[in-house]
Structure 1
Amino acid sequence: MLQGGYQSVLEARTREEFRGEVLRFTKKLEFDTFSAITVVDHALGRSEFIAIDNSPPGFSEALNDPRLGRLDPVMQHCKRNSVPIVWDRDTYRRHDADDLWEAQASYGYRTGICLALHLPEGRHFVLGVDRDRPLPNDNAQLIRLVADLQLFAVHALDAALRVLLPPEQQLEAPKLTPRELECLRWTMEGKTAWEVGGILGIAERTAVLHINNAMRKLKCSNKHQAVLKALRFGLIR
C-alpha cells in the first residue's frame, strides 16, 4: 500500500488543497489525469455535479455533451455499482462506444480505473484515474493499484463533501454518546471490538453495540467509514 496521501487529503481545507492532494496521489499511482466528482441528488430526479480534474486543454469542451455520459460504459458502471471498474478500449468496444473511446484517447484517456462511493441522503463520490499507457499485465500489481485507489477514495470522500459542497448542503454532525466516541477512538487506533471491550472494561458484545450505534448515527456502512466521518465532523481527534 502507498503510505503517503491518505491523511493529508483528509486534512485538506480548501478546494485547491484538495485538488493538489488528489493530483499528487494520481502521480504516485503513475497515472496522468484524474477526475473527482461529488454528486448530490435533488428532488424531481435532478442531480448536481461538482467536479475537479486536471484534464488537458480542450478535453472538457470536446466531451461536454451530457448525452455522452449515457453512452460511457465507465460512468454507467459507476452509476450502478460500488465495485471499481478497470477499463481500456475493449470496455468501450463491448458497449458499442468505440467512437467515444477514440475521442477521449486523443487527449490521453486510453486506460484507467474508476470507482464510485454511494452514500445515504443522495450523496455520491466518483474518483477516476487515467493514462495513455497500457495497464500492468501482472494481476497482482493491478490489484494493488485498485486497492490503493479504493483506500484513497474513502479518505478523499469526506474531504470532497467538506470543501466542494456549499455550506447549505453540508450535513450537521450527529450526536454520539461518550461511550460511542470512545469506541470509535480506539477503533481508529486499529483495535478490534474484543480489544476495545478490554480497554474500556465492557463486554465485546457491548463494544460492538456502541460501534454499530455510531455507524447508524453517522449513516456509514462500516466502522472505518464511521471513523473517517467522525474525524471530518471533529467528533474525535
Structure 2
Amino acid sequence: MKAWQEELLQGSISALSEQELFNRVARIARDLGFDYCAYGLRAPYPFSQPRTVMINNYPDHWQARYRDRGYLAVDPTVQHALRSLQPLVWSDSLFARTPELWEEARAAGLAFGWAQPCRDATGVSGMLTLARSAEALHATELADKQMEMIWLAQSAHVGMARSVVPRLLPEMRAKLSAREIEMLRWTAEGKTSSEIADLANISKRTADFHLNNATAKLNAANKTAAAIMAAVLGLL
C-alpha cells in the first residue's frame, strides 16, 4: 500500500471533519495530475428532496454560477451517478443536452474530467470528480492511474459518509426494538394495525403502541412513512 493510500485510509476511519478529509483527497488528486476535485453525497431519504452535501475546490465564480443556474438538476454526471457505478470520462457527447453547462464549465477551467460514483449498503450515494483545465484524459493515462483514482473515490466515500451521514440523517441512529421492527415490517407489506395484531398475537392497541413509538423515533409523519424510511435506511 502506498503512503498516501495508508494516510487516506486512516483518515477515513478516524474522526476527521469533511473539510479535513477533502483537503487530503484534493492533495492526492493534484499528485495524480488534477487541478480540481469535487465530492458530492446524497442521502437516500427523503425521496422528494434528498439531503445532499457538496464540497469542492472549483473556482468561486463557477460554484456560484452552478448554484444560481440550478445546474445540479441537469448535470449529466449527477444523473449518471444515480443509475450507475461505472467511472465516467467527460466528453462532448455526455454534455450534448446541456451545452450551456458544458460551455461555462470549460470557460471556468473545467475542461477535462473523470467521475466515480459510489454507493454503500445504507443507500447513501456519492461521487468523486477529478478535473483539470488542460490535457485530455487519454487511454494510456487511465490505464496507468484509474485503479488509484477508483481507490481514492471509494476511500473518500467511506470517510465522508462516516463524517456527514450522522448529521445529514440522524434517523439512522434510531434504536428500534425488535417488536418495533416487526411492526414496521408488517406495515411495509401493507398490513393494517388489526392485521398485524392478529399476526403477532397481540392486541391492536399494543401494535399501535409499538408503531407510534417507532414513528416518533424516526421523526416520520406516519407509520407508513416510518416503515418506508426504516426500510430505505436498512433498519428493518
TM-score band w.r.t. shorter chain? 0.5 to 0.7
Match of 2:33 in 1: 30
Residue pair 1:7, 1:155 contacting (<8 A) in 2 also: no
Tell me if structure 2 keeps the 8 A contact 1:89–1:111: no
Partners of 1:171 and 1:67 lie apart in 2 by 32
Aligned CA RMSD, in angstroms, stands at 2.2
The match for 1:59 is: 62
> Following TM superposition, by how much is the alpha carbon of 1:50 offset from its aligned partner in structure 2, in angstroms?
1.1
Q: Check 1:25–1:169 CA distance in 2 against 1; reply closer, same or farther (3 A cut).
A: farther
Residues in 2 aligned to 1:149 and 1:39: alpha-carbon distance in whole angstroms:
20
Q: How far is the alpha carbon of 1:127 from its aligned partner? A: 0.4
Matches within 5 A, 1:49-88: 49-65=52-68, 67-88=70-91
Q: Secondary structure at the match of 2:59?
A: coil
Deviation, 1:123, is 0.5
* Letter aligned with residue 14 of structure 1: S
Unaligned runs of 5+ in 1: 173-237
Partner of 2:155: 155
Structure 2 length-normalised TM: 0.64
SS at match of 1:5: helix
| Secondary structure, counterpart of 1:30 in structure 2 | coil
Q: What is the CA deviation profile of residues 89-130 of structure 1, one whole-angstrom value per residue up to 9, with x for unaligned ones? A: 3432xx332221111112111110001112233301110011
Counterpart for residue 46 of structure 2 = 43
What percentage of aligned pairs have identical amino acids? 19
Q: Distance in 2 between matches of 1:66 and 1:7?
A: 39
Residue identity matched to 1:126: M
Cα separation, 2, equivalents of 1:37 and 1:169: 20
| Deviation digits for residues 59-102 of structure 1 (CA, Å, limit 9, x no counterpart) | 1110114742333222211121000001133432xx33222111
Assess if the C-alpha contact under 8 Å between 1:89 and 1:110 holds in 2: no
CA deviations on 1:24-82 (whole Å, 9 max, x unpaired) are 11101111111111211213433111121111121111011474233322221112100
Using a 3 Å threshold, how does the CA distance of structure 1 residues 40 and 30 change in structure 2: closer, same or farther? same
Instruction: Give the distance between the partners of 1:64 and 1:16, measured in 2 at CA.
Output: 20
In structure 2, give the amino acid aligned to 1:155: S
The aligned counterpart of 1:8 is 7
Aligned to 2:103: 102
The answer to whether the 8 Å contact 1:135/1:142 transfers is: no
8 Å Cα contact 2:166-2:173 kept in structure 1: no
Matching residue of 2:23: 20
Who is 2:188 aligned against? Answer: none
- Residue in structure 1 matched with residue 146 of structure 2 by the alignment: 146
Conserved 8 A contact 2:113-2:137: no
**Counterpart-to-counterpart distance in 2, 1:128 and 1:153:** 8
Alignment of 1:214-229 (within 5 A): none
CA distance in 1, matches of 2:79, 2:30: 26
CA, structure 1 residues 101+48, in 2 after alignment: closer, same or farther (shift >3 Å)? same
CA change 1:66–1:41 in 2 (3 A) is farther
- The TM-score normalised by the length of structure 1 is 0.64
Aligned counterparts of 2:123 and 2:53: Cα–Cα separation in 1: 14
1:89 aligns with 2:89: no
